[in-house]
Amino acid sequence: MKKIVSASLLGLLVLLGTAMNASADTVMSWNLARDVILAKESSPPNSTWSFMQNSSGVNKAENYTALPYFKADTCSGLPATCWQDPVSGAHVSVHFKPYTYTANGTFSIAPGNVAFHPGQNSQTVIRWASPVVGEINILGRVNSIHDSCGDGVAWSLNLGDTVLQSGSLVRGTGAVFSASKVPVTQSSAIYLVLDKKANYVCDSSTIDLLITH
């Protein structure tokens, strides 16, 4: 069965209403998909986002390393920008046009969505480095989109090495996460960590992530 995944962050905001508790004229925001879709280099100047992996077996920030390969605009023949490790298979990509996967089951990724996949023996990590001091609010959704095989994925939302929320997804399911009034300084980092669980195959996932201050 064809599965179309389009988890709109706007939809999440409508669903959760005023959960962010911040007025539109004072809020600062960092939207993962919006901020990286025009990226032309691996670490653009002043970008708060970076893409990493962890192959150490110990889930601590000191073990996270940058994904070593970056390609803008076209990745693996697709209209997408990606950060990846061709050896481990860990990757993050943002898509510009609809993409439909048709081998070993079928799923689709909508334009503007950020997709990611853990490595064979590594976690994939999305990092937000705080440029502010004070409190932030976090809202997002993670989706396991390949529902034809595999054992799903595990995820955690971390402030440094402190787990704020975590979960385990059965294949083809998703979870909304949120955290309010998280204290940060300009040395703080938020991490969204994706893990393969026992089985690496069929772990394609999408992520919406919005941070406000």
Radius of gyration of the chain (CA): 16
- pTM to 2 decimal places: 0.87
Q: In the prediction, which pLDDT does 17 show? A: 43
pLDDT band at residue 25, thresholds of 50, 70 and 90?
A: low
Report the distance separating Cα 85 and Cα 82, nearest Å.
10
Count of C-beta atoms within a 10 Å radius of residue 148: 16
Which range, of 11-15, 70-74, 105-109, averages the lowest pLDDT? 11-15
pLDDT at 4 over 50: no
pLDDT in tens, 109-120: 999 999 999 999
Q: In the prediction, which pLDDT does 1 show? A: 42
For the chain, which domains are there? Answer: 4-45+63-212 (2.60.120.680)
pLDDT in tens, 127-169: 999 999 999 999 999 999 998 888 999 999 999 999 999 999 9
Q: In the prediction, which pLDDT does 83 show? A: 97
- Residue from 43, 96, 14, 48 nearest 211 by CA: 48
pLDDT at 13 over 60: no
> Residue type at 98?
P
pLDDT at 29 over 70: yes
What is the pLDDT averaged over residues 16-27?
A: 49
What proportion of the chain, given as a percentage, has pLDDT over 90?
A: 77
DSSP reduced 3-state for 79: coil
pLDDT in tens, 73-132: 999 899 999 999 999 999 999 999 999 998 888 889 999 999 999 999 999 999 999 999
Sign of CA dihedral 209, 167, 200, 8: negative
Give residue for tokens 């962890």.
54
- Give, in order, the Cα–Cα distances in Å from 124 to each of 69, 129, 184: 14, 16, 23
pLDDT at 44 over 90: no
Count of C-beta atoms within a 10 Å radius of residue 85: 21
Do residues 29 and 138 make contact, with C-beta atoms less than 8 angstroms apart?
no
Report the distance separating Cα 48 and Cα 46, nearest Å.
6
pLDDT in tens, 179-198: 999 999 999 999 999 999 99
Please give the structure tokens belonging to residue 6. Answer: 């389009």
